[in-house]
A and B are shown apart, each in its own frame.
Chain A
Amino acid sequence: MVKIVEKEQIAPNVHSCTIEAPDLARKALPGHFVMVIPDKYSERIPITLSDWDTEKGTVTIVFLEIGAATQRLAELKAGDDIYSFTGPLGMPFEIENFGTVGLVGGCYGIGGIYQAAKALKSKGNKVISYSEARSSFLLYWNNKLEEASHEVRYSTVDASLGSRGHSHDLLEENLRSGEHFDRIMAVGCTYMMYKVSLITRPFGVKTIVSMNPVMIDGTGMCGACRLVVGGETRFACVDGPHFDGHQIDWDVVLDRRRAYLEEEIISKERW
């Protein structure tokens, strides 16, 4: 049980929630996630740690209202308890001095890349972030991201901010025009990460994607989160969730995603 200290709708259907968890705040690294059960009857769902404050002893998650569990979470207010909150889980991002790094964030991934941007910048990388949404009013954390990165490039489907289309379209354009990246990291919906991996492959840019398969326990016990990476079965919750996008067997991923097709349709409508 943990207490919510702050709760905010930061864009339509997108919420940020700050939780009192001093131990967790001390251990959190960019790329870690938590398993959350909003109330006794809800599912256990994985959510990325988007931000944390060691001094205040708090961590912040950003989530998209999709189905029963995230809706329940969205209903909770400051002062309420979250039934179960476990982390940090997964392996953090590899943070080194790579050179120029492109960070691609979509949906909850805009929050998901924020701490990575900060950490990469302090390691001396040139950090270029890509943030996208259907329209400018659906974007969030623009200021935070701009502060954490050297440059933020926006894409919106309706061209209300930045370039028209998606981040992966813009990234492809940038690569084609000869811009050099030493590494690309993408966090967000499966389809976006798949597209990014396809786009960067011919340019030979190492691409790390933050996979989001269904998870039950998040500790390596159920196998629900299994993926095929480089021909081997890996568990996203303990071996990942970050993998080389060029090594992932995307056919398996996309087929397994179809189990939750309905959810995809809903989230597409919203985004």
Chain B
Amino acid sequence: MREQPPEERIRNFDEVPYGYTPEEAIEEALRCLQCKNPACIQGCPVEIDIPGFVKFIAENKFRDGIVRLKEKNIMPAICGRVCPQEEQCEQVCIVGKKNEPVAIGRLERFLADWERSQGEMDIPRIPAPTGKKIAIVGAGPAGITAAADLARLGHHVEIFEALHEPGGVLVYGIPEFRLPKAIVFKEIDFLKKLGVKLHTDTVIGKIKSIDELLKEYDAVFLGTGAGLPWFMNVPGENLNGVYSANEYLTRANLMKAYLFPKYKTPIIKGRRVATVGGGNVAMDCARTALRLGAEKSILIYRRAREQMPAREEEIHHAEQEGVIFKLLSNPAAFHGSENGWVKEAECIKMKLGEPDESGRRRPVPIEGANFKVQVDVVIIAIGNSPNPLIPSTTPDIESSKWGTVITDPKTGKTSKKGVFAGGDVATGAATVILAMGAGKIAARGIHEYLKTGVW
């Protein structure tokens, strides 16, 4: 797919890949073998009929294609962009055994973009109201998917979102250049057209407890994500200029600091920005730093490149854009200037030892191999866990020792009657499509519960 050249794109927040033209899409779709037993479908967490929609593209029937796609995925424009396709549908595509697999994600994106360019989206028929009311907590991918599925079953659905914009990580975390926010809002518009009511600025657990919701609604779904940032607990982490990834990205994305001074939220731009971590979040931070004008964006990761959890495409984009990778390195301390600003990251060199529980070789420090990196901004992007706000105010919802809400994976049921959960709050930080899958499962679970009344 054609892309903005790296030297240009690091100076703007526009999307990197341009997307297919109709001709390119048809050409790509024709590569699909239309397998009798399509492996690709098993690779997709929401079981999209991949050969089905691809065939419509090949036949130039884009309208039919988008309808087929949306039967299983209400946010194709988003998944087509951020799904880790290379580990899912595309990894198992038969064509991929010898050649490049069919570019399923890009075709998905093409159809969704095509539909948006056509103006109004089709609204599916909604059955007669069932009279049941459902409260969805959190307007991230899990909550949005559950809401859409339940609305399409005729239930009355209301979403409660803590922030002033819906979308969850799609809006506050993933940067504009990977996922334009206009696309997210358009997909949320679709939700409103389904009759779903959205309440922003509403923190459940504060303005209303779960028990209060249960008095007004027949069921509650928790899709509150995993938004609590981890820190490293090393000296100097509270110096000025040390951000969590969430703070850095929230300032830049949700509060639009990249459009400063039109938008008033400041962000410390930094000339030498170090990001600690090796996942998608770290890549997003390191690449955002470049776009905000950093001369050097340095990524510090404690294992080797092969062990990085980020998507290959993101690592590749970061490399192309000139992010400097300091691998097998881990900060031991940050040192500050006299007035409390970070100026140096002291790192330990690591080597790979025996595999740990995750199966990846554990990094072990090399004695006496410390080195220093000059920095003026540091971003800690080493992970997140679920926000304890709801579990702590609702003790009868059981959580694991990692703070995740315990659910029945087949129905999304929690330990509390009438309360379902799914997405990052149940799994810990995962992916958009898994959160959507969990939303779907819970919607089915809720529907079943409302029909039968059996818990």
Which residues of A are in contact with B by a Cβ distance under 8 Å?
23-24, 27, 37, 41-44, 68-69, 72, 83-89, 216-217, 219-224, 226, 228, 233, 238, 252, 255-256, 258-259
Query: Is there contact, CB below 8 Å, between B164 and A86?
Result: yes
Query: Majority SS of interface residues in chain A?
Result: mixed
Question: Bound state CA distance, A70 and B233, in angstroms?
Answer: 34
Query: Is there contact, CB below 8 Å, between A222 and B240?
Result: no
- Pairs A-B, 10 closest by C-beta atoms: A255-B340, A223-B244, A222-B247, A84-B164, A221-B227, A86-B201, A259-B240, A223-B229, A68-B264, A222-B246
Which residues of B are in contact with A by a Cβ distance under 8 Å?
162-164, 172, 200-203, 206-208, 227-229, 231, 233, 238-240, 243-244, 246-247, 250-251, 255, 262-266, 336, 339-341, 387-389
Residues on the A chain within 8 Å of B264, using CB: 41-43, 68-69, 72
Closest to B387 in A: A220
Q: A221-B387, A222-B244, A223-B247 are in contact. List 12 more A-B contacts (CB 8 A).
A: A41-B263, A84-B200, A87-B206, A87-B207, A88-B206, A89-B203, A89-B206, A219-B389, A222-B229, A223-B231, A224-B243, A252-B238
Question: Bound state CA distance, A219 and B208, in angstroms?
Answer: 14
Query: Is there contact, CB below 8 Å, between A84 and B201?
Result: yes
Query: Is there contact, CB below 8 Å, between A238 and B389?
Result: yes
Residue contacts A-B, CB under 8 angstroms, 28 given: A23-B207, A37-B164, A44-B265, A68-B264, A84-B200, A86-B201, A86-B202, A87-B207, A88-B206, A88-B207, A89-B203, A216-B250, A216-B251, A216-B255, A219-B162, A220-B388, A221-B172, A221-B387, A222-B244, A222-B246, A223-B229, A223-B244, A238-B388, A255-B339, A256-B240, A258-B339, A259-B240, A259-B341
Query: Majority SS of interface residues in chain B?
Result: loop
Residues on the A chain within 8 Å of B227, using CB: 219-221
Which one of B163, B251, B339, B341 has the highest number of Cβ atoms from chain A below 10 Å of its Cβ? B163
Residues on the B chain within 8 Å of A258, using CB: 240, 339-340
Query: Is there contact, CB below 8 Å, between B238 and A226?
Result: yes
Which one of B172, B202, B231, B247 has the highest number of Cβ atoms from chain A below 10 Å of its Cβ? B247
Question: Within the complex, what minimum Cβ distance (angstroms) separates B88 from chain A?
Answer: 28
Residues on the A chain within 8 Å of B162, using CB: 86, 217, 219
Residues on the A chain within 8 Å of B339, using CB: 255, 258
Contacting A220 at CB < 8 Å: which of B208, B228, B231? B228
Residues on the A chain within 8 Å of B387, using CB: 219-221, 238
Query: Is there contact, CB below 8 Å, between A27 and B231?
Result: no
Closest to B266 in A: A43
Question: Within the complex, what minimum Cβ distance (angstroms) separates A119 from chain B?
Answer: 19
Residues on the A chain within 8 Å of B172, using CB: 221
Residues on the B chain within 8 Å of A252, using CB: 238
Which one of A44, A68, A85, A86 has the highest number of Cβ atoms from chain B below 10 Å of its Cβ? A86
